[in-house]
Amino acid sequence: MNPIPSYPHPLIAREGWSHILIAAVLAAGVQVSFGGWVAAPFWLAFFFVVQFFRDPPRLIAGSGGKSVVAPADGRIVAVEECEDPWLQRRALKVSVFMNVFNVHSNRAPVDGEVLQKWYHPGAFVNAALDKASSENERCALHFRVAGTVDVTCVQVAGLVARRILNYAEQGTRYARGERYGFIRFGSRVDLYLPLQTRVAVAIGEKVYASSSLIAELP
């Protein structure tokens, strides 16, 4: 593990500040107007919103420039060879599904430069399903690692998620574990890796953004 990097949004993600404020004002207003029992569901909703937008600092897994770390918290739902639809190549696909109780801050999976960025509008089917990768709203980044190795990282919206936030731009260089985006309310992230990659996770395994090692590139 590497040390925790400098972290611009401690504990609560900036994407959630307005949602948390609205939930707090609504719950407080109901309590003042109608009392604690009526307000209880609103306070539960407030605490749910707070936990959803938590964004803790993390240790960074891996020991070198070829390490691939988890881009999101969640459960591995796919480890398979398939077609990378963004770079038109055969690749190893590793997918992380995030439920509404996971941290939804997304982190760079590799040390590399963003060569391309694509946004594709789409549907909002359950992100745990394989067809979400091809049918749902998504935003993809093409990372170039060590000058020669290509990695595709794709944020995919889910059944409830209606907003993909991606702050990366072409030419931006990232260290693995650096924050680059956020998806609101349930989603997945797909990684497309070279076929020679040594994958370190299995389907069903729980992973944590930045601090779980996904693979080692060739």
Q: What are phi and psi of 187, to 5 degrees?
A: -175, -165
* Domain range annotation of the chain: 11-55, 67-216
Q: Which residue has the higher pLDDT, 53 or 7?
A: 53
- Are the CB atoms for 156 and 188 separated by under 8 Å? yes
What pLDDT was estimated at residue 9?
52
Which residue in the block uniquely carries the two structure tokens 């060569």? 115
Catalytic residue annotation: 187
CATH tag for 67-216 (out of 2.70.70.10, 1.10.3430.10, 3.40.50.2300, 3.50.50.60):
2.70.70.10
Query: pLDDT per residue over 119-145, tens digit each?
Result: 988 666 555 566 666 667 889 999 999
Instruction: Check residue 160 and give its pLDDT.
Output: 59
Pairwise pLDDT comparison (159 vs 63), residue with the higher score: 63
Q: What is the mean pLDDT of residues 193-199?
A: 97
pLDDT for position 141:
97
**DSSP E strands, 126-212:** 138-145, 149-157, 163-166, 173-174, 179-184, 187-193, 198-199, 206-207
How far are the Cα atoms of 24, 45, 49, 122 from residue 18, in angstroms, in the given order? 10, 14, 10, 26
Q: What's the half-sphere exposure (Cβ side, CA atoms, 13 Å) at 152?
A: 28
Range with the lowest mean pLDDT among 4-18, 36-50, 88-102? 4-18
Summarize the confidence of residues 186-197 as an average pLDDT: 92
